[in-house]
């Protein structure tokens, strides 16, 4: 006969922070979040433009070298 152990499961309830009832605070948080995302989008767009510009220069340079060699 074998003995079977079943682990006991403990239920831990997380402390839920109280709901903020201030619409002004919610609006400020929302606007700050939007502004943060706008700034991040501008940085990402600038990075993409730089990468595309470098790629265009490299392709043009490769085409020029290929034309001169051939």
Tell me the pLDDT tens digit for each residue of 35-53: 999 999 999 999 999 999 9
**What is the DSSP code (8-state) at residue 17?**
P
In a domain, 16, yes or no: no
In a domain, 12, yes or no: no
Contact partners, residue 20, CB within 8 Å, separation at least 6: 26
Query: In the structure encoding, which two tokens stand for residue 4, read together?
Result: 């079977």
Model confidence at 3, pLDDT cuts 50, 70, 90, reads confident
Number of structural domains, the chain? 1
In a domain, 8, yes or no: no
- Domain containing 63: what range? 34-70
For range 43-64, the mean pLDDT: 98
In a domain, 40, yes or no: yes
In a domain, 23, yes or no: no
In a domain, 42, yes or no: yes
């Amino acid at each position: 006969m074998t003995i079977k152990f079943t682990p006991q499961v403990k239920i831990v309830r997380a402390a839920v922070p109280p709901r903020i009832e201030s619409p002004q605070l919610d609006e400020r948080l929302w606007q700050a979040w939007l502004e943060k995302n706008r700034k991040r989008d501008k940085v990402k767009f600038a990075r993409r433009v730089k990468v595309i510009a470098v790629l265009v220069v490299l392709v043009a340079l490769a085409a020029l070298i290929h034309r001169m060699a051939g």
